[in-house]
């Protein structure tokens, strides 16, 4: 238990002890008055005696009732006493059902949430220094936990087995074929081709000297150098011109041939036994390649270590990016009432759905927690929580009992 919790329980115990002194003082006062007025000849003594006598009865009766909730009065195992220790499980179940039926009922939750502008609350919280800092710290804590878990040998082997099992069930050839078909349907393959052509043009242009040197090294000795240069220059110009035409003209003939080639390749990958077999062989090579897996794990370790080093710095780039992103989200959401309304609707529907489907499980936290407590410990916790208020029952019992005693004495004298 945390020190703050211990301190809180100590304070409650001290307050309860002080509160118990008041009804105890009243009981002693009633006892003194009873003894003082016993056989006293004065007329007023009868009234005071009746008040004190009934007050003592009321004080003792309510003391017994309150104590019987938490323990056996005077340590005597009287039936139906020590109710909380003996029936803590039943009490926990009753509290759990009560919370589930009256606090976690979907309509009640929805009505409560609809009265609250959740989006505005989120915006206000994210804009505050405390809110942003809390989210940043939560993000860093999750990263630390994830990176630390992935460093463990057992986790690594588990993930390795899981990924290998998942990969073993994948048909690589069909997966690649479906991917190519998806690219063709959205003309994304042409966009990729355009980017490749542009990069190739730049690559050829920037490496003319390297190409010229390579050609000269491979050219026969008897071919003059100026001939190589002239042929190479014309060839490179023609290649760059052709690539530029393909990059700029979306209706270029070569693009249509490229589309046909991609579509045919996608069909073959999905239907050709040879391609299916090649895909399975390649997959088996991947699964059996320990060096590749070690390399990928080493690459991951390097990335993870860089992330860990960064998040520990006061000027962490990851922290700054998270903070900037949160600030941007808060500012954008703050200036968009329509989006706030949509977010509120999403949150209300999501929370209501989750609570509605899991109300019993959520409420069972109460009963499960109570079941895990020791009977005496449960009694102590409950008494610390409500024992101070229960002392008013003893106080009122003493005073009301005394008043009833006066009433009975008055009736007796009247008769």
User: Rounded to an integer, what distance in angstroms lies between the CA atom of residue 225 and that of residue 218?
Assistant: 12
Q: Are 239 and 146 in contact (CB under 8 A)?
A: no
Smallest CA-to-CA distance from 117 within 106, 125, 128, 108 is with 125
What's residue 62's pLDDT?
93
What's residue 1's pLDDT?
46
Please report, in tens digits, the pLDDT of each residue of the chain (415 residues total): 445 555 678 888 899 899 999 999 999 999 999 999 988 888 889 999 999 999 999 999 999 999 998 888 888 888 888 888 888 888 888 888 888 887 888 888 888 888 888 888 888 888 888 887 888 888 888 888 877 776 666 666 766 676 777 767 778 788 888 888 888 887 888 888 888 888 888 887 787 777 667 666 665 555 455 555 676 677 777 888 888 888 888 888 888 888 888 888 888 888 888 888 888 887 777 777 777 667 767 777 777 788 888 888 878 888 888 888 888 888 888 888 888 888 888 888 888 888 888 888 888 888 888 888 888 888 888 888 888 899 999 999 999 999 999 999 899 887 5
Residues 6+ apart with CB under 8 A from 235: none
What's residue 232's pLDDT?
66
User: Rounded to an integer, what distance in angstroms lies between the CA atom of residue 72 and that of residue 67?
Assistant: 7
Q: Is 123 exposed, middle or buried (0-12, 13-18, 19+ CB in 10 A)?
A: buried
Smallest CA-to-CA distance from 263 within 172, 200, 187 is with 187
In degrees and rounded to multiples of 5, residue 36 shows phi and psi of: -70, -35
Please spell the DSSP secondary structure of 329-378, one letter per residue.
HHHHHHT-HHHHHHHHHHHHHHHHHHHHHHHHHHHHHHHHHHHHS-HHHH
What's residue 204's pLDDT?
79
- Helices 208-218 + 188-206 axis angle, to 10: 70
Can you list the pairs that 243-251 forms with residues at least 24 positions away whose Cβ atoms lie under 8 Å? Answer: 243/197, 243/200, 243/201, 243/204, 244/197, 244/201, 246/193, 246/197, 247/194, 247/197, 247/198, 247/201, 250/190
What's residue 60's pLDDT?
94
Q: How many CB atoms lie within 10 A of CB 394?
A: 26
* pTM, rounded to two decimals: 0.49
């Amino acid at each position: 238990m945390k020190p703050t919790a211990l301190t809180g329980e100590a304070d409650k115990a001290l307050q309860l002890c002080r509160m118990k002194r008041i009804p105890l003082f009243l009981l002693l006062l009633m006892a003194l008055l009873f003894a003082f007025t016993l056989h006293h000849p004065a007329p007023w003594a009868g009234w005071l005696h009746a008040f004190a006598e009934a007050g003592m009865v009321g004080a003792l009766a309510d003391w017994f009732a309150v104590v019987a909730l938490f323990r056996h009065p005077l340590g005597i195992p009287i039936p139906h006493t020590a109710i909380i220790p003996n029936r803590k499980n039943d009490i926990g179940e009753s509290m759990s059902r009560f919370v589930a039926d009256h606090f976690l009922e979907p309509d009640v939750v929805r009505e409560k949430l609809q009265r609250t502008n959740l989006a505005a609350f989120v915006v206000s919280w994210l804009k505050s220094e405390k809110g942003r800092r809390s989210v940043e710290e939560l993000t860093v804590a999750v990263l630390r936990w994830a990176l630390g878990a992935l460093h463990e040998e057992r986790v690594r082997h588990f993930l390795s087995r899981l990924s290998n099992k998942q990969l073993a069930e994948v048909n690589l050839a069909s997966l690649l074929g479906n991917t190519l078909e998806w690219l063709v349907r959205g003309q994304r393959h042409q966009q990729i081709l355009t980017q490749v052509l542009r990069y190739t043009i730049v690559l050829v242009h920037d490496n003319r000297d390297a190409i010229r040197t390579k050609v000269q090294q491979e050219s026969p000795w008897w071919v003059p150098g100026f001939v190589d240069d002239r042929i190479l220059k014309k060839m490179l110009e023609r290649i760059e011109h052709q690539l530029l035409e393909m990059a700029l003209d979306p209706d270029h003939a070569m693009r249509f041939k490229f589309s046909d080639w991609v579509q045919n390749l996608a069909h073959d990958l999905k239907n050709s036994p040879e391609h299916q077999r090649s895909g399975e062989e390649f997959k088996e090579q991947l699964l059996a390649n320990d060096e590749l897996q070690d390399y990928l794990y080493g690459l991951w370790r390097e990335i993870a270590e860089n992330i860990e080093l960064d998040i520990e710095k006061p000027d962490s780039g990851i922290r700054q990016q998270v903070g900037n992103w949160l600030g941007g989200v808060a500012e954008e959401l703050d200036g968009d009432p329509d989006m706030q309304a949509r977010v509120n609707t999403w949150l209300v529907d999501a929370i209501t759905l989750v609570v509605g489907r899991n109300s019993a499980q959520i409420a069972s936290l109460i009963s499960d927690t109570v079941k895990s407590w020791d009977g005496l410990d449960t009694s102590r916790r409950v008494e610390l929580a409500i024992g101070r208020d229960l002392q008013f029952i003893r106080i009122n019992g003493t005073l009301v009992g005394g008043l009833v005693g006066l009433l009975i004495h008055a009736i007796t004298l009247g008769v």
